[in-house]
Amino acid sequence: MKTSARALALAAGLLLSQAGQAQNAPPPNPAPDARFPVLGKLPSAQQRAMAGLLDWQRAFDNLPVAELQRRLGPPDLSNEMEANAVTGKPMRSLGYRLSRHSELRFTIHEGRVAAVTMLLMPSANEAGPLD
């Protein structure tokens, strides 16, 4: 899908630009955070990769929906969600497929990105129909 290709290109571009910035910065501290014990069980290369993905997600935090759609195009999936428990205002979810089983999902609250979820699931059969 064209939208998915744009989403994947954006993800790759952001990761590459952060990798270039990371070359000039000191390496991230691979010391595990006690709040997230599983990260400490990963090899240091995977810890750094996870830190990069988490930084990449933060780049979308509080982004207006119009800017998100300008960057990625129209979403492949859009779902209304329950109202926010604190504000009572409606929320929705926008999804961009990266492959047959993988996607980026953005939770939208008050017209801005409130959360980013990456679902990355490798599949032996990426050529089949979408699930």
The dihedral sign for the CA sequence 76, 131, 97, 54: positive
Q: Is 129 part of any domain?
A: no
Is 85 a domain residue? yes
pTM: 0.65
**Which residue range(s) make up the domain with 109?**
2-119
Sign of the C-alpha dihedral computed for residues 116, 122, 127 and 128 taken in this order: negative
Total residues belonging to the chain: 131
Q: What are the tens digits of pLDDT across the range 14-66?
A: 555 554 544 444 445 445 567 878 888 889 898 888 888 888 888 899 999 99
Burial of 26 (0-12, 13-18, 19+ CB in 10 A): exposed
Number of domains the chain contains: 1
Q: Would you say residue 94 lies in a domain?
A: yes
User: Which pLDDT does position 109 carry in this prediction?
Assistant: 95
The answer to whether position 102 is within a domain reads: yes
pLDDT at 14: 55
At 51, which helix (H) or strand (E)? helix 44-58
Instruction: Categorize the per-residue pLDDT at 118 as very low, low, confident or very high, splitting at 50, 70 and 90.
Output: confident
For 68-100, the pLDDT digits (tens) are 999 999 999 999 999 988 999 999 999 999 888
Domain presence at residue 126: no
